[in-house]
Structure 1
Amino acid sequence: MANRNPTFELTVLLILVLLTKSKFLEALRSNSHATVDFNISCIEKEREALLQFKDGLKDPSGWLSSWVGDDCCNWVGVSCSIQTGHVVTLELKGSVCDSYQENKAAYYRKSCLFGKLNPSLLNLPFLSYLDLSGNNFHGNPIPEFIGSLKNLRYLDLSQASFTGMVPSSLGNLSNLEHLDLSHNSFFGSLPRLGNLSLLSNLDLSFNLMDGMIPEDIGQLSELFTLNLYGNSWKSVISENHFRNLSGLTFLYLSSTNKSLVFNVRHDWVAPFSLSTLAIGDCQLGSAFPSWLESQAGISRLTLSNVGLLDTIPGWFWRLLPQAQWLDLSDNQIRGELPKSINVRVDAWIDLGFNRLEGSLPLWSNVSNLSLRNNLLTGSIPIDIGHRMSIFENLDLSNNLLNGSIPQSISEMRNLSFLDLSNNHLSREIPSNWQGLDKLRVIDLSKNRLSGGIPSSICSLPSLVCLRLSSNNLSGELSASLQDCTRLLSLDLGQNGFFGTIRPIAEKLINVSYLGLRANMLTGSIPEQLCGFPVLHILDLAHNNLSGGIPTCLGNLKAMKYTRYYSSVPPSIERIEFTLHAEFVVKGRQNEYRKINSLLNIIDLSSNNLIGEIPEEITSLTVLHALNLSWNQLTGKIPENIGSLQQLETLDLSCNHLSGPIPPSMSSMTFLSHLNLSYNNLSGKILSSNQFATWNDPSIYEGNLYLCGPPLTTNCSSGHGDSEDNDKVEDEDKSEKFWFYVSVVLGFIVGFWAVCGTLIIKESWRHTYFRFVDETKDKLFVIIAVHVGHLYKKVCRCQKIKVVANKRYEL
């Protein structure tokens, strides 16, 4: 027998042990069921525990249909120890559960569990890996019993719709290395992390936690990732919070109410070396933190809305050779930007909402740049497309840039998002847009551009959003948009476009935002708009449209059914380039930095629309704003208008509407802005719910027959509530019928009885004609008085309109 080499045998044995351990850990932490070549039988008690756990869940997609038979180790999401057969892994990570309700029917994405967690899991004593993230537990609290699963090393309950306090029992999980409770709703303080000395990853981001961040978090010496972003902490952060966190590499901190305060010494030296730092919505101090200078290996840095008032120090730019992502937005940072910076290729940079001055820098390695809402001046460099050809997203909106838009933009072949709005750019829109096949969003609104819309814009194959409002553009509407058939959002408001809407209404079937406000459009509102399946915002105000309001507007699907979407919190891994728009809501023009697909608006004000308000419009149950003011509408306010339960703004002023205020309006509890002034409404003003809180008489002024608070007109015998008015109206109809009958009979009988007498008797004839002359004079006086009142009303309305137009122009 050959001599054995002990060193060799020991090495082989060690390799076998390491391989066995590696296979075990791979099976333990795998995101899918690991198949092993051992004949392992499921332990009956643990099998029963899993079946009890399943019984507490709802599984609409049949995801757990494999949980049958004796061998639970082969069930989906279950893994067992290859040595003992005990269940060690329960990995049921679902898709994020989105749901929406339409016609009271619910839809759920597949592979998503619902229900409650059964404490039968306590009968899995060797369970070390538990992942139930991405499911929907309908606001139930995290069960206390989870803190008794002593062998847990990995626990992920993120995005699972839990709510309530974080159980203090989680502090008992002394073997825990990974804890993720992010993207739920439970609140309160951090659990006293206690025996959690092995914890390396802690993620509690995007919840409602509003307590203190305890200093003993600084004792978690193994901590690698600490993510407390997107909560409402009320705490002071000191050096003690980081005392022993020498291995910390990823740090995320923010407080939505800005009540998280950093209080560290100016000469403090951080014990860690970070790769990612994200601090937002906090009180960091007015100057750039000096401890940041030691973080030379940082690749992702966010200091957003933290109160910086400083200029950017020179040492800061030297930190960035490894930087792929930099966000210093929403501060008051001053000074000029350097002409060049040293960052990684394809870097994302957001310096928006500051006070930066000077000319536009050209940073060749940057692919995504936002300098929105600053004080940049000068023109856009003529060679920007050549020198920054890798651009994907460019936002220079809300600055003081002037001159023309360079033709070289067409060289940015990867460009997807372009926002140059709210500057002083002039001349015509460049004609050459060919080759920009990835361009999805163009926003050139609120400039001084003239001419028409180049045909090459509508030929862009990926274009879904075109915003050109508030310029000096002109042209026939349908000719300008002949090939823009793929648009989802179109805003041409406040320009000089003319023509009718119908030709484009036949093409823009998928548009969700149609803004044609303040142009010179004529004709009627086309019924084709009623078939737009995703139309959320329809703004046709301040044009010369005529005809009636189409009754089929009540068929707009996107304004009839409530849709629920999962909450998507702000990104901390990628800068967002979002659309923004301005809408006239609640009587004033508001800017929305993020356009919410749930915002539903119809504005047809300041046109020449006639006829009645269609009753069908009351079926738009998720409409948020309706403005029909300054038209020639007649008839009553629809009786069923109270069905618009989500309505926040209703403006029907300056029309010819009559009748009472419908009683159903008192149920519109979301209504916060109402204007019914200058109509012919009558009866008693409602006094319940929202109406009891409105003390402004201007809401109702110009309606001579309205009475009751807040007007000074008392409801006397000449005024009554809506029920009395209805009775009076019915009586009036009956009286009018018999009046006309009596007139006809009286004419037949009286004509010869009176006129025959006048013909025969001369003295009666003179007396009669004298009476006619006197009656004529009295009638002229009455007409003159009423014309005077009407003149005053018209003048007042015109005065209000002039003031409103001036405010609007401003």
Structure 2
Amino acid sequence: MDIYVHFNPISRLILHFMFLLMLAFSCLNTSTTVESCMEEERRALLIFKQDLNDSSGRLSSWVGHQCCLWRGITCNNRTSRVVSLDLRNPYAVILYDNDWNFTQYDESCLRGKLNPSLLVLKHLRYLDLSGNNFQEIHIPSFFGELTTLRYLNLSSTFYNYSFVGEIPSSLGNLSNLNYLDFGHFYQSSSYSKNLNWLSHLSSLTYLNLGGVNLSSTGVSWLHAINMLPSLLELHLSYCSIDGNQLPLSLPTNNLTSLLVLDMSGNVINSPFPKWMYNLTSLRKLDLAENPFSLPPSINELVRLKALEHLDLGYTGLKGQLLSFGNLCKLKSLDLSSNEFEGGVEEFLSGFSNCSFNRMESLDLSWCGLEGNLSSSLGMLKNLQHLDLSGNSFRGSIPEYFIGNLSASVKTLSLGYSELVGSLPQNLGRLNELVDLDLSDNLWEGSLTEAHFMNLTRLERLYLSTTRPDPIVFNLTDYEWIPPFHLRVLDLENCRVGPGFPLWLQSQTQLSRVGLINAGISGAIPEEWLSSISSQIQALDLSHNQISGKLPFLFNFPYLFSIDFSHNQFDGTIPSSICSNIPTLWEFSLDNNQLSGEFPKEWSLWSDIVYVDVSNNSLSGNIPTSMGVPSSLLVLKAGNNHFSGEIPSAFQNCSSLERLDLGGNKFTGSIPSWIGSKLSGLNLLQLRSNSLSGHIPPQLCNLPSLQILDLSHNRLSGTIPRCLNNLTALLSSGSSGWVSYGVGTEVTTVTTKGRESEYFEGNAGLLTIIDLSSNELEDEIPEEVSSLTALGTLNLSMNQLSGNIPFNIGNLFHLETLDLSQNQLSGNIPQSLSNLTFLSHLNLSRNKLTGRIPSGSQLQTLEDPSIYEANPSLCGSPLPKCPEDNMHEPHADDNKDHEDDDNKLGFYTSAVLGFIIGFWSVCGTLILKKSWRYAYFQFFDHIKEKVALAISLRVARLQRW
């Protein structure tokens, strides 16, 4: 379903229409038509125009003296005064509509400065500057002097096109304002620290502060707005309001007349405020994308019986699907991306109290629903938009499900729901269907003409299966022409070929085409390309067998994405692709058979962000004579025959994030400016070239670098000791990897001993340093042990010497370690046994000595070849160490061992007996005082007897 970016629903349109109607009556005079405005006002408008950049010529009519006939100007017919200045962007923004074109929108924007000459327009009531590009401009404070204004619209759609800075409090002087709009679809660069000036706008009925940062206002924002008694619409989406700024109750609630309240996209993590349950006049309530600690209670929300539109998506709702009781006026309901239990049947039972159901739009996507698709949806007789995607239905689509859907349904989304089986033929009876999304399920079988028989209004079709066997378009009539005229066609793993069928060539109104793995071969029909050229925006024909020369692409004014990868195109890349399609963002020609040089005209792509021409036979130097597009974020040119040095012109690509030039014939050294000019790199692949010289230490200045692959070159010198400056490899966390390609980006790396392909987000989780197959020497720097987030370290086939770093066990995320074919010596560090994730190890062909460490993870790596050709290395899984053999038991030694064991037992018993006896006596004497006295008296008595006996013995001896 298309989402229109007009922050005001029905009530705003009514207000707008009423205002324009009143303005028209005040301006019109039935007897005469005014053409000339006041001279001073005409001059003021021309001065205002001079400061504007009008690239599309919207103000070209602003010439001559008949200024009341100029575009955007309305005069009062009686006084000839300018009363309305409407300079909104005529190209309306429609997000999530594949037909909408950003280039057309951008070209229609006014830019520049806003001259205070507008102050001459003393009777100006209506000023609309919305939808333009006034980035880095503050809202002029002189607007506060236009005191006759009743309507002021400064809204924008894109945050980088909006006004910046603080909203001037001088706008509080506009006491006649009925309508005030600063809204932006997402966060903007404008803010307010204090909204007290709002309280002076007592006539305000519409207020949109969407995207304005209110985080510094505390709770005062609510008190200021609560003083507007006439307010009917309030839009506060993406205002950075948190839970501390939203009190649970209000002393006096003056907002009870509100018809529309939009507080979506904030950071409200507190319980749901109770005062909102008293807004009984509300017709629209949007609280989506707020992490409420205690989400709104449906039992309380049912008090808002006037609600027609309710959005509670992404609000943390959990548990059983909710009962909506008396909300029988609901026309649209969005509960997407919550965590419910049960299925659609339980949800629909909540509307059993509604005698007449008015539901037109229902979004239950990504809610964790299970079970079967319910036939009870047939009770929603007015349903036009149904989104059940992203759930776990797992069954098939029953015939009765389609049969019970309202004949008026326009949007049906069942993608990513684990559905299986064949698609029912009665899909063709939904003759009002405009959007059909059946992507990423487990479909099988075939499609015939019957599936599309009555889909006369179909404009967007998304269909793909995740099964290995494709869906087959089994059309009985080769010349069949469908009844629809598609704008978007996205088919993946659907067998359409072998050629371009006539039904496809009949679709001449396409703006986006995706025919991925569609079994198409042969050449692209030029007549078909020519017919869609004027409106086509994205063209993805990847993973087919399309052959021949690349088509001559001409007159493609809005094309921003080309993906012809994984086909059989040959010949050269025509320069017309560059000169005729200056709007290109993505260009993918990888895995074809293209040859020749890359066109030097690629510098004309001023907006290009993604270029992939890898795995072809392109040759020569990468052209830089006309410049390199500075907008580049991703360049993949690996596995071609490019030669020469790495172009210094890449220094201008300061935003470059991924650079892959591997598998070519580049020579010279690695430029040191890569570390200083390309500081945002997260992937640098220069493998399999003829690069020489040292690894520049400036590469350590790349804080985002996750993959560094310099393998298979002629690099010499030492490994830089500053590798511990690679911040992204120091700690694991969320990856900053962004997928810029419209198609699926693939990154090929060597890990676990083999080349592997990783798709999009998965590649962003890789952390690799590969310096193998070079001529590096000296020791492995101990600083490598600091890279605790590293997943793969490959330093094999160099001339490294010395010991393996003692603390290599600190790399606790390491899965692959290859240090083979070097001259490393010493023992294998015991810390290596700490690597619990290690699944691939190779230390072969070195000079390592001593015992292989034991450890639970190392014991799973039982292949002796990972340690081979280290003559002085021993221990499992290699033969035992010599000291182990010295202690092997012999038969003659068994008796000695037994005697030793007996003697050991005797001595142990004696020692234990002595200890026990000693402490039995001494311990008792220490603890009992009376025993202690008696003992020492006894000891003294014995001592006297012994002394007397000795004296008698001496006297007897003397007598002899």
**Would the TM-score normalized by the shorter structure come out above 0.5?**
yes
Question: What's the CA shift for 1:635?
Answer: 3.4
The residue number in structure 2 matching 1:529 is 699
| CA deviation string 1:332-385 (max 9, x = no partner) | 43321158835465611010122111112331223321111101112224xx13
Q: How far, CA to CA, are the matches of 2:737 and 2:385 in structure 1?
A: 23
Helix, strand or coil: the match of 2:708? strand
Alignment CA distance shift 1:439-1:545 (3 Å): same
Larger CA deviation: 404-413 vs 536-545: 404-413
The residue number in structure 1 matching 2:576 is 408
| CA deviation string 1:525-556 (max 9, x = no partner) | 10111112332321111111112211212111
1:253 matched to 2:423? The reply is no
1:377 matched to 2:547? The reply is yes
Note the 1:134-213 alignment, pairs <5 A.
134-137=289-292, 151=305, 152-160=307-315, 162=316, 164-169=318-323, 173-184=327-338, 186=340, 189-190=343-344, 191-196=346-351, 197-213=357-373
Letter aligned with residue 385 of structure 2: T
Alignment CA distance shift 1:484-1:120 (3 Å): closer
Tell me which of 598, 602, 605 is aligned to 1:429.
Answer: 598
Question: What's the CA shift for 1:495?
Answer: 0.9
1:277 matched to 2:436? The reply is yes
Larger CA deviation: 658-667 vs 409-418: 658-667
Note the 1:341-360 alignment, pairs <5 A.
341-343=505-507, 347-360=511-524
Q: How far, CA to CA, are the matches of 1:448 and 1:461 in structure 2?
A: 25
The residue number in structure 2 matching 1:765 is none
Note the 1:65-80 alignment, pairs <5 A.
65-68=220-223, 71=226
Letter aligned with residue 793 of structure 2: L
Alignment CA distance shift 1:555-1:65 (3 Å): farther
Letter aligned with residue 280 of structure 1: S
Q: How far, CA to CA, are the matches of 2:828 and 2:217 in structure 1?
A: 53
Q: How far, CA to CA, are the matches of 2:885 and 2:371 in structure 1?
A: 57
Q: How far, CA to CA, are the matches of 2:778 and 2:665 in structure 1?
A: 27
The residue number in structure 2 matching 1:395 is 563
Q: How far, CA to CA, are the matches of 1:150 and 1:277 in structure 2?
A: 33
| CA deviation string 1:104-131 (max 9, x = no partner) | xxxxxxx423245467866666766442
Q: How far, CA to CA, are the matches of 1:213 and 1:499 in structure 2?
A: 63
Question: What's the CA shift for 1:250?
Answer: 0.9
Helix, strand or coil: the match of 1:236? coil
Alignment CA distance shift 1:124-1:614 (3 Å): farther
Alignment CA distance shift 1:522-1:433 (3 Å): same
Question: What's the CA shift for 1:145?
Answer: 5.1
Alignment CA distance shift 1:511-1:185 (3 Å): farther
Q: How far, CA to CA, are the matches of 2:800 and 2:321 in structure 1?
A: 60
The residue number in structure 2 matching 1:554 is 724
What RMSD over aligned residues (CA atoms) do the two structures have, in Å?
A: 4.4
Q: How far, CA to CA, are the matches of 1:338 and 1:387 in structure 2?
A: 24
Alignment CA distance shift 1:599-1:260 (3 Å): same
Letter aligned with residue 494 of structure 1: G
Q: How far, CA to CA, are the matches of 1:457 and 1:182 in structure 2?
A: 49
Question: What's the CA shift for 1:60?
Answer: 6.6
| CA deviation string 1:733-766 (max 9, x = no partner) | xxxxxxxxxxxxxxxxxxxxxxxxxxxxxxxxxx
Tell me which of 821, 836, 845 is aligned to 1:654.
Answer: 821
Letter aligned with residue 399 of structure 2: E
Q: Percent identity?
A: 34
Tell me which of 318, 333, 338 is aligned to 2:482.
Answer: 318
Letter aligned with residue 425 of structure 1: L
Helix, strand or coil: the match of 1:391? coil
| Mapped contact 2:718–2:776 kept (Cα < 8 A) | yes
| Mapped contact 1:449–1:471 kept (Cα < 8 A) | yes
Helix, strand or coil: the match of 1:66? helix
Q: How far, CA to CA, are the matches of 1:239 and 1:666 in structure 2?
A: 59
| Mapped contact 2:323–2:350 kept (Cα < 8 A) | no
Question: What's the CA shift for 1:658?
Answer: 4.2
Helix, strand or coil: the match of 1:280? strand
Q: How far, CA to CA, are the matches of 1:704 and 1:204 in structure 2?
A: 66
Alignment CA distance shift 1:172-1:406 (3 Å): same
Q: How far, CA to CA, are the matches of 1:149 and 1:673 in structure 2?
A: 63
Note the 1:581-592 alignment, pairs <5 A.
581-592=747-758
Alignment CA distance shift 1:83-1:589 (3 Å): same
| Mapped contact 1:233–1:255 kept (Cα < 8 A) | no
Alignment CA distance shift 1:207-1:456 (3 Å): farther
Note the 1:302-317 alignment, pairs <5 A.
302-305=462-465, 307-310=470-473
Q: How far, CA to CA, are the matches of 2:381 and 2:290 in structure 1?
A: 32
Tell me which of 689, 698, 708 is aligned to 1:538.
Answer: 708
| CA deviation string 1:506-529 (max 9, x = no partner) | 543333321111001111110111
Query: Structure 1: 5+ residue runs without aligned partners?
Result: 1-15, 41-58, 95-110, 721-810
| Larger Rg belongs to | 2
| CA deviation string 1:28-64 (max 9, x = no partner) | xx99999996899xxxxxxxxxxxxxxxxxx976665
Alignment CA distance shift 1:136-1:677 (3 Å): farther
Question: What's the CA shift for 1:409?
Answer: 2.0
Letter aligned with residue 361 of structure 2: N
Tell me which of 453, 462, 472 is aligned to 1:293.
Answer: 453
| CA deviation string 1:650-697 (max 9, x = no partner) | 333333344555455555444444434444264343433x44544444
Q: How far, CA to CA, are the matches of 1:475 and 1:127 in structure 2?
A: 68
Question: What's the CA shift for 1:426?
Answer: 1.6
Q: TM-score, normalised by structure 2?
A: 0.60
Helix, strand or coil: the match of 1:616? helix
Question: What's the CA shift for 1:205?
Answer: 2.5
Tell me which of 381, 386, 409 is aligned to 1:226.
Answer: 386
| Mapped contact 2:874–2:880 kept (Cα < 8 A) | yes
1:600 matched to 2:767? The reply is yes
The residue number in structure 2 matching 1:644 is 811
Letter aligned with residue 624 of structure 2: S
Alignment CA distance shift 1:639-1:326 (3 Å): same
The residue number in structure 2 matching 1:727 is none
| CA deviation string 1:717-746 (max 9, x = no partner) | 3599xxxxxxxxxxxxxxxxxxxxxxxxxx
Letter aligned with residue 158 of structure 1: G
| CA deviation string 1:399-449 (max 9, x = no partner) | 111122223223222222211111111222233335332333322211112
The residue number in structure 2 matching 1:91 is 262
| Mapped contact 2:683–2:705 kept (Cα < 8 A) | yes
User: Which structure's relative contact order is higher, taking Cα pairs within 8 Å and 6+ residues apart?
Assistant: 1
Larger CA deviation: 593-602 vs 540-549: 593-602
The residue number in structure 1 matching 2:611 is 442
| CA deviation string 1:255-275 (max 9, x = no partner) | 36x4444453x4665244211
Note the 1:515-526 alignment, pairs <5 A.
515-526=685-696
Alignment CA distance shift 1:694-1:325 (3 Å): same
Question: What's the CA shift for 1:585?
Answer: 2.3
The residue number in structure 2 matching 1:420 is 589
Letter aligned with residue 248 of structure 1: V
Q: How far, CA to CA, are the matches of 2:278 and 2:667 in structure 1?
A: 74
Aligned length: 655
| Mapped contact 2:539–2:562 kept (Cα < 8 A) | yes
Alignment CA distance shift 1:565-1:550 (3 Å): closer
Q: How far, CA to CA, are the matches of 2:803 and 2:852 in structure 1?
A: 15
Larger CA deviation: 669-678 vs 234-243: 669-678
